[in-house]
Amino acid sequence: MSRELPSPDMSLALDAAQNAPLVSEWLLGASALLMKHQGDAKTAELIADVSALEVRLWDTQFDREGYRVVLVVDAQLFPRYDEEALKRIEKVMQTVLMPAGKEVDEIAVRPDIRLAASWRSQLREPSGPKPSNHARRVRDNLPNHPVEDDLHFTNEWEYRVYQVLKEKQAALPDNETIGIMPLCRVRVLGSTREPDFLITYKGRAGVIEVDGPHHEGPKRASNDHSRTDLLINAGVEWVARLDVRDTTEKAEVEKFVSNFLSRLTRR
């Protein structure tokens, strides 16, 4: 059975301390799904590509709650959120909030620009600053998540798999090693996906998904198969799923990784 996303307490203001950690993902998800059900896939995808929302109580006159909503988006996606796109997003968010007596008074968008201390040197590089959206939702929503080698992981299980992959990488010849890309976002037909690990090896690409208890049940299994088909249709050679119950012993993960790489290069 899939885990349900917690909803804000609509008896309180959206930016109340109890609601603030929930509002961004809840309002984005509800708005995107409503657009999808209404046949507006373009707006649904724009909403899904928003990194986070900043929601602030804006107007409480005449017994109403009006909010200012700011969409935070990756800098390279910023031009897509023009005036027409913002109007469509504002309209659907109004629809989601109206039954609770809450309204969107103002909507804006800002690029998510993270400045390094050496930004001047980075700017002068021939290729300019290198945009990255790696694990942005992890950084925003899970402040205590595992981090190693400037790579982010959703949970301890993914981190354990990474450690085994990294050891395997170091053990292979320098000219025949593997690339490890955790939580990279990839555009496939009709949607944007974020595999747990994208692995490159001997000219081929494969995906490892680390599945927790929320992947149990026929509906979730069906969704997993659909995502696997989308990745394979886009050129991924092999998608393997590792149950977290099989990560308790390092030897089990090592066996899984060896089998995955063997299958990935099988002709």
Tokens of 53: 């929302």
What order of strands is seen across the sheet that includes strand 204-211? 178-182, 197-201, 204-211, 238-243
**Domains within the chain, CATH numbers bracketed:** 20-112 (3.30.70), 136-264 (3.40.1350.10)
Gap between the Cα atoms of 32 and 93, Å rounded: 9
pLDDT tens across the length of the chain (267 residues): 446 778 899 999 999 999 888 899 899 999 999 999 999 989 999 999 898 899 999 888 777 899 999 999 988 888 999 999 999 999 999 999 999 999 999 999 999 877 767 777 766 665 555 545 455 555 555 556 788 888 888 888 899 999 999 999 999 998 889 999 998 888 888 778 889 999 999 999 999 999 875 444 444 444 556 778 888 898 999 999 998 877 778 899 999 999 999 999 886
Gap between the Cα atoms of 30 and 72, Å rounded: 17
Query: What is the residue type of 39?
Result: G
Query: What is the residue type of 204?
Result: R
What does each C-alpha distance from 237 to 201, 242, 256, 267 come to in angstroms?
A: 11, 17, 17, 10
Pick left, alpha or beta for residue 242 (phi over 0 → left; psi -120 to 50 → alpha; otherwise beta).
Answer: beta
End-to-end CA distance of the chain: 36
Q: Tell me, yes or no, if the pTM score tops 0.75.
A: no
